[in-house]
Structure 1
Amino acid sequence: MSGGDPGVTAWKVEWSREEIVEAARTCLLRAGAITDGFSGVGAVAEPDSLVVVFRWRRDPNVYAVDVAFPTELVSPWTGLPVASADEWAVEALSRLAEDLATGLVSRGRRKVRDGYVVLDPTTPPTSLLLGPTSARSPRSPSPPARGARLGPT
């Protein structure tokens, strides 16, 4: 236990990264894991994150998502307390299920690394932000025609 604020106690993670990776692999590789269309390939420890590797539906690409290793005993999805590496992994992969169900493969920013496409669920691709209709909302009036008079006539 530790805490910077005298009135707040933060419970620190006592599980090893190996325990977390193993818990994630167990969740990923069981039948029916995550959601329809998901096929778990594996979980890999990198210096700062757990990398969840998977296939999605009939897409020929192999995808991955980085999940930060926990530093406190809370769910990475809900922020609620978790008591074990297994419980944390279930919560992390539940978040992935939600992201996949809401179009992560279509909307996530992509970066190719180590032979798979790493999806970033936190930022939409720039092309969605810079599309031709992004400058005005559908309810905005069209700009005046060239040479049109503005103001009272």
Structure 2
Amino acid sequence: MERTVALVISNVLLSVAVAAGGQPSVPTSIAPETAVSICRIRQNPEQYVGRVVTVSGVYKTDSSHYSYVLDPSCSSQSTLDLGFKVPERDSSVAAFEAAEAEECKRTGQRGLCVLEASIVLRGEIAQTKGAHLQPDLVYLIINPHSVLTYRFRTER
């Protein structure tokens, strides 16, 4: 079963296609020069670090250890980690987080909650270095300013 959610952003209704297996597309209200694929960002990160862009892909999380957006069309390096701690974020990010918590509750997942969603978000590309087990690894992250559309995927 798939659950579709639509958000009102800047007085423009943005919706996700209901067709099964449909991929989200960048809404027409977003300037085309800001829409970019994760593949392109990963190929030339220096061109995008510090810029605000709109990306679409598959959001994956376990609600504790990882949250990232995946572009399955990339041949390699197809992910951007998510960072939710930016002052520029609007209420749509908090609404997405609340919907995520509700989806975990609805599916009966306690503790770790594994979710997947088609998503379109707008945010700033940043770079960070280091992780618990890999202190020298460089990560590309997207700090969401807006979550434009999302559709949780659940198997039942």
Same fold (TM over 0.5): no
* Larger helix proportion of the pair: 1
- Structure whose CA Rg is larger: 1
- TM-score w.r.t. the length of structure 2 is 0.29
Greater length-normalized contact order (CA 8 Å, ≥ 6 residues apart): 2
